[in-house]
Chains A and B, each alone.
Chain A
Amino acid sequence: MISVKNLCVQVGEFRLKDVSFEVPGGHYAVLMGKTGSGKTTILETICGLKKIQSGTVSLNGRPMTHASPAEREIGYVPQDGVLFHTMTVRDNLSFALELRKWNQREINSRVEELAELLGISALLNRTPFGLSGGETQRVSLGRALAAKPSILCLDEPLSALDEDTRGEMCALLEEVQRVTGVTTLHITHNASESERLGDIKLVIVEGAVHSLSGKSTEIPGVTPDDRQAAETKTDTSERMKAQ
């Protein structure tokens, strides 16, 4: 379970005020918002990468407002994958397990299992250099899931992919959630991803997070034009802002 209450975060000029929402355990939540609306900031705050000015974050019922990222046990998939390119794909996947001092046999079997689930068994001995966008995202997802976190945070995992790969990745994300039952928070500016994947749909408008019930496409305070614009815009400027 992810529970965020009255969160205030300041990143440079950008400010998020009084954000509250909740994702019950085992659900797949999609958080939508325009470019520059602070989606990435919310995600990074939940992961413990941004300092909180006020408000609380609790994960699985435990208060984690000021916990270090390591203590939170969240699987984080950043935009563009951000694989460690001095290591092989196998080492990327086993990184979290080695930190947790698993023995080599357990690590190997966990890596094989993940590679099977994500369809990257053939890539294990390669370095990330030269992987396609879809492959990079799969490896990044595997690295995040390796230590069996109960929460998974995805930062626009599909935005850099072409249409076909995007469909495959959507299916994969559904499969991963079905198999692992991990509580997922997925942020995107793409309405079709939200429709397809989210059983909880959240939208951030002017710093406030609203919940959309069921299949409704009505977003309070957002005209269809706005959404269209948010979908088609590239996310570069948002990434820069969020950092």
Chain B
Amino acid sequence: MIEPTVNEQKTGGFKPRSDLPFYTIFISISAIYVFLIVAMLSAETTYTTPDHIWNAFSKPEIRYAIWLSLVSCAITTVLSLWVSVPIGYLMSRHEFPGKTLIDAILDIPIVLPPLVIGLCLLILFQVEVPQIEWLNRMVAEKSGVEYVPATLVSQTQSVDDVIRKVTKVTFGKSIGVTYEIPSVILAQFMVACAFAVRTMRVTFDQIGPRYEQVALTLGCNRGQAFWRVVFPQAYRGLLAAGTLAWARSLGEFGPILVFSGATRMKTEVLPTTVFLELTVGNIEGAVAASLIMVVSALIVLVIARMFGLTRGAAI
């Protein structure tokens, strides 16, 4: 019986504490981080003069890197969208045995260190497979060389060799993957696509199955329901996935360094340029190349904001 009176006395003299300390701490922490972002960007942009940047642009190596970066990122983005739409849709709509496992596999490129992805790709294309006699004969015919059974020299060849031979036969020109331009695209694709898949899956989850169900009752088959009703509604998600894949692939460095090498005028993309210029002590060149990436990243950010994509996107 004593306790209630004690409580009453307490509440009688109770004075709520101020919100000031809470907001002071939270706002200061936030401000420090935002300041760091702005400071590092402005430091970089003011580090060089426009002259230096212009000089850097006139170097053929850097021009080549810009060109290769733009082209490879565009191809990667298109590939990622093609792949992420079906995967995202299937994962969002269907239950099947082993779905949890597939889900985990799809996340591997996101959690794996990028360098390791590059190494895995490098090893994958060096896996030894048996010599294919008829393919070797066709290659010999194509290049006008007398056919010598390769099995006499070596019983096996790498996957990359097989691809070189197949492209030689089909296109008349041997195109390899490792240490060539295709490896740049593949290295970018492996990581960028995983992010696009996640975004597309969230997109289809948000659209929900009810639109398709109505379309099905109206006479659509699954394909028509998807292309006529669901896909047009997914355009925001497509844009988000596309910009995300593009931004990811533009900044990709680790896997490219391992899988494609850093050969000037061949497999040099913008991050490689920054790295190469830094190693030879040309900081202006490095800054100029990185500024191009800063500007592109800002453009991506603006596009994403314009379509209100950043909140829902699974980044």
Contacts and interface: CB of A to CB of B under 8 A. Distances in A.
A78 interface: yes
A243 B208 CA distance: 10
B233 A86 contact: yes
A70 B222 CA distance: 10
Interface in A9-59: 44, 47-49
Interface in B185-243: 209-211, 213-221, 224, 228-229, 232-233, 235
A100 B219 contact: yes
Given A49-B213, A78-B213, A96 B229 contact: no
Contacts of B235: 86
B60 to A, nearest CB: 46
Interface residues of B, number: 18
The DSSP consensus for interface residues of chain B is helix
Contacts of A49: 213, 216-217
Contacts of A147: 218-219
A68 B218 contact: no
A78 B218 contact: no
Contact of B213 (A69, A85, A144): A69
A106 B167 CA distance: 54
Nearest to A69: B216
Contact of A84 (B211, B216, B224): B211
Given A85-B233, A86-B232, A86-B233, A99 B217 contact: no
B217 A72 contact: yes
Given A84-B229, A86-B232, A86-B233, A78 B214 contact: yes
B216 A68 contact: yes
A100 B219 CA distance: 8
A76 B219 CA distance: 11
B38 to A, nearest CB: 37
B19 to A, nearest CB: 35
B218 A47 contact: no
Contact of A48 (B211, B215, B217): B217
B233 A47 contact: no
Nearest to A99: B219
Which one of B209, B220, B224 has the highest number of Cβ atoms from chain A below 10 Å of its Cβ?
A: B220
Contacts of B219: 70, 73, 96, 99-100, 147
8 contacts: A49-B216, A82-B211, A84-B229, A84-B233, A95-B228, A99-B224, A100-B219, A147-B218
Given A74-B217, A86-B232, 4 more contacts: A72-B217, A78-B210, A78-B213, A82-B211
